[in-house]
């Protein structure tokens, strides 16, 4: 099948895929919730790089982090520490507003 033969209308939404995984795997939702903050940071970092048109290596140079550390941030599987977030804000002008409540951490709109 060629790519042009794929119909987008047949694709599931992210919400549908997540719901299917949740129903099939009891531990999935716990892991999804555990990594929510890390994913939010990842989306912010990837969006910043895309908007600026810079590579992971260039962002690493700007922040003083190693390129593999930027790749791990963008993977969103582990929450970054406050020192890492501080380095990102100093080098990029990004703002991270955190809310820690009810056993979870997340970004709140700036």
Sign of CA dihedral 110, 72, 68, 82: positive
Share of the chain above pLDDT 90, in %: 52
- Beta-bridge mates of residue 106: 99
For the ranges 2-6, 26-30, 101-105, which has the lowest average pLDDT? Answer: 2-6
**pLDDT at 8 > cutoff 80:** no
What pLDDT score does 96 carry? 92
Please tell me the predicted confidence (pLDDT) of residue 1. 46
- The beta-strand segments (E) located in 1-110 are 97-101, 104-108
pTM (2 decimals)?
0.76
| Residue pair 104/36 in contact by the 8 Å Cβ criterion | yes
- pLDDT (0 to 100) of residue 7: 65
Query: Structural domains in the chain?
Result: 16-108 (1.10.260.40)
- pLDDT of 2 > 60? The answer is no
Q: Give the number of residues written for the chain.
A: 110
């Amino acid at each position: 099948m060629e790519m042009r033969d794929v119909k987008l209308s047949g694709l599931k939404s992210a919400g549908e895929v997540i719901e299917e995984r949740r129903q099939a795997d009891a531990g999935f939702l716990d892991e999804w919730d555990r990594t929510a903050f890390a994913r939010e940071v990842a989306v912010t970092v990837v969006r910043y790089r895309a908007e600026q048109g810079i590579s992971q290596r260039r962002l690493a140079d700007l922040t003083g982090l190693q390129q593999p550390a930027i790749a791990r941030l963008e993977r969103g599987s582990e929450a970054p520490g406050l020192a890492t977030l501080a380095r990102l804000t100093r080098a990029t002008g990004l703002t991270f507003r955190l809310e820690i409540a009810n056993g979870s951490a997340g970004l709140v709109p700036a």
